[in-house]
Structure 1
Amino acid sequence: MATFSQDMMNELERIQDFNKPRMIAVNNNKTYAYSNQVMGQIEQKNRADYSRTAVGLNQSNIELLTIQHEFGIYGGESGEYILDLAEKLTIPFIVIFHTVLVEPSMKQLAIMKRLAELSIKVVTMAQTKIIDLQEVYGIAMNKIEMFHHGVPVVATATRLELKATFGYENRQILSTFGFLSPGKGIEYAIKAMKGVVAKHPNALYMIWGKTHPVVKQESGEVYRQQLIDLVASLGLDKHVAFVDKHLTQEEVVQSLVLSDIYMTPYLGKDQAVSGTLAFGIGYGRVIISTPYRYAVEMLADGRGLLAEFRDADSLETHIVNVLDDPGLKAEMENKTLALGSTMMWDEVAKSYAVLFRKIIAQSYALKGSAV
């Protein structure tokens, strides 16, 4: 979400009729050195901070607020403290729902319904979630907007050039990037590599990223070590590589462009949005995924392949089929890139800008009529 927010701000800053956007950061009991883009801070578990922030916003020259919503970001049960802010706002706001659960708890349902009720618009990043917002959360269709998860525009070398630069000229590269956590299902992709390597001995699966900070705080590097041990037990040391670091935006894009196949073998079927999958589509990679809801929607019409959940054999079959058939690979890349070109942040930001202008204009019209 932090990456999403930063990318959105960077693009909106380029739009001439907007003032420089600013951000309010939510901290987790730590002190951070922020840039001047951050105008305020909320201590996650300090309930008073949410009301105080709302009062400050109301007294500022801010004309519109965007609330990025994800369970676990804000304090209180299911992040209920965010309502203290929303209920005290007198300026208009929209809410972007990064997660839309099909079976929310009563508390989760109440929070999202209340945020939607108070907001001017709600935004989802998946077409299928529009129905859930209507049927599960009771949100009117005319209040819902759907914008793709933005993908940053980063200039980079070609796949062949990057392979030459990093010494992978003769390798078929598969990759996954993002924070490591047990829900990513990477162990199944590693198991699939055993059969893949038997048919394509030049295949290399690269796992980019550090352990998720919450997972590391709770259980250390247990999951990563389990994956490393699995690689060793399968004799795949030369065919699976871990890049244990926080990636810069340029490195994320390079990891994708370098890849012949990008994989998201996630375990949760109801995942509404995946930023990493969006990045893979944006840069036109062949994608093999498990059929969580966002993947089913985004990989339709031949833009990717869907393996069964928790099924290494199914992943292996799809990987081998792509590596066996360069024509199929090229066809899928072209189809994926056709959608991906509409998902780049320079395009998505234009859609947000249209919405923001409309809301701000309506707000001024209402103020004028009240005078």
Structure 2
Amino acid sequence: MIRIAYVSTYPPRRCGLATFTEHLRQSIDGVRGPSDGDRVIVLYNESDGDDAYRNDPAYWPLPAQNRAAYAEMAKRVNESDIDVVLLQHEFGIFGGEAGEYILDFIAALNKPLVTTFHTVFADPPLPYRPIQGKIAAASDAIIVMNRQAIPYLVKAFGLPEEKIVYIPHGAPGPSSENRDSLRRRLGFSGRKVMLTFGLLSRGKGIESVLAALPGVVRKVPEALYVIAGQTHPEVKKREGEAYREELKSLIHRLGLEHHVHMEDRYFSEEELIDYLTACDLYVTPYPGMQQITSGTLAYAVGVGRPVVSTPYEHARDLLRGCEELLLPYGDTTAWEERLGQLLADEAALKRWEEKVRQIGANTHWPRVGEQHVALFARMCAAKRGEVKTIGTVSH
């Protein structure tokens, strides 16, 4: 049985990467069977501490801001019976400028390395370019969750295309509870519900949906927009609840108190699936067109809900064939018309639901786990003995 070391954040830390890694680990265990030899190398911030991981042998805590700890952790991996290292890469979780400390870990590592890039740029800027390039060069295989990321990486870093593997962002299936029962339980009966969920922060485009909502309500008086999720902890440290209060003020100015419901709390996985299953439309109005991966979009499509979105990178890739559901950011008229049209037409919603459900079936966690296990098996069969070399980053 292949023994895996996962490098990532991990619950109980509340962030998308931690949740992703937990589900990926579960999906791989579901395919391959649980392994006592697996380890999770958990990045943690000194302010949060490692109490949640220290006394469990499955976790090897790595203090993100302690540069010396990265090479030490690689040495520990080298001396273990780990077969493959799976690095979940997001620049912000590692120490140093643009997360450069992870290069020390990679330079000292002599085990096969698979890297999943959660952020990929069409044209990587400084200071990210040299760091991502060195990680890519040192990796035995690279996983991306967006097909467009493959030509981006090939062009930016001169990588052979066969080194890069597309595996979609994993997602759950719909709730097993009857949908009408769910809607009654959640207070959605008699309403046409649009949903946005995730940790609240600026740059999600929620204001643009609120701007379109008065026109939607005129066409569909039972429309309800649910904004689910607590404020992102890093945002809360910086500015408290200022952004949430701004949204509340906007809702009041537009007279939308009966048509917008903000749920300021942490949602468990089960609750999120329930809310997604029960809603009529999922909405991702993000202004940033370069977003290569969206976990919330992946979840909505996995559950099989129709989605209306801006045409950012992940939406264009995942929703191929559903271009009518992609609307320009900030075009209030277009959003008003499309949301109103869909919420008023049950037959159209059903047609889109079926189309999205077919796309989502390929993203369910068991399928994603199978693809990872197959990749690891191929890698270990062609195991190489050489030690990786990686240069230093010059600023």
| Residue 196 (structure 1) aligned to one of 216, 222, 235 | 216
Following superposition, the deviation at residue 32 of structure 1 comes to 4.6
Q: In the alignment, what sits opposite 2:40?
A: 23
| CA deviations over 1:28-61 (Å, ceiling 9, x no partner) | 2212543647521111111111111111111111
Q: In the alignment, what sits opposite 2:316?
A: 296
Please say which of residues 18-27 and 126-135 is displaced more in the overlay: 18-27
| Residue 360 (structure 1) aligned to one of 380, 385, 390 | 380
Report the residue type matching 2:22 in the other structure: Q
| Residue 79 (structure 2) aligned to one of 59, 63, 77 | 59
| Residue 153 (structure 2) aligned to one of 133, 136, 146 | 133
Report the residue type matching 2:172 in the other structure: P
Secondary structure, counterpart of 2:203 in structure 1:
helix
**Identity fraction in percent:** 35
Give matches, 1:153-168, under 5 Å.
153=173, 155-168=175-188
Q: In the alignment, what sits opposite 2:13?
A: none
Q: In the alignment, what sits opposite 2:93?
A: 73
Q: In the alignment, what sits opposite 1:8?
A: 24
Give matches, 1:1-371, under 5 Å.
1-16=17-32, 19-20=35-36, 21-29=38-46, 30-34=48-52, 36=56, 38-153=58-173, 155-302=175-322, 305-363=325-383
Aligned 8 A contact 1:154 1:250 in 2? no
Report the residue type matching 1:3 in the other structure: T
| CA deviations over 1:254-299 (Å, ceiling 9, x no partner) | 1100110000000101100111001111111110001111111222
Following superposition, the deviation at residue 304 of structure 1 comes to 5.8
- The alignment covers a number of residue pairs equal to 366
Aligned 8 A contact 2:143 2:167 in 1? yes
Structure 1: 5+ residue runs without aligned partners? none
Quickly say closer, same or farther: Cα 1:89–1:298, change in 2 above 3 A.
Answer: same
Larger RCO: Structure 1 or Structure 2 (Cα < 8 Å, ≥ 6 residues apart)? 2
Secondary structure, counterpart of 2:382 in structure 1:
helix
Aligned 8 A contact 1:303 1:335 in 2? no
Following superposition, the deviation at residue 152 of structure 1 comes to 2.6
| CA deviations over 1:187-226 (Å, ceiling 9, x no partner) | 1111211111111111110001111111111111111111
Aligned 8 A contact 1:158 1:257 in 2? no
Structure 1 segments of 4+ aligned residues over 6 angstroms from their partners = none
Quickly say closer, same or farther: Cα 1:16–1:349, change in 2 above 3 A.
Answer: closer
Quickly say closer, same or farther: Cα 1:33–1:196, change in 2 above 3 A.
Answer: farther
Report the residue type matching 1:177 in the other structure: F
The TM-score with structure 1 as length reference comes to 0.94
The TM-score with structure 2 as length reference comes to 0.89
CA distance in 1, matches of 2:154, 2:181: 47
CA distance in 2, matches of 1:144, 1:230: 44
Following superposition, the deviation at residue 155 of structure 1 comes to 4.1
| CA deviations over 1:231-261 (Å, ceiling 9, x no partner) | 1111111110111111110011011001100
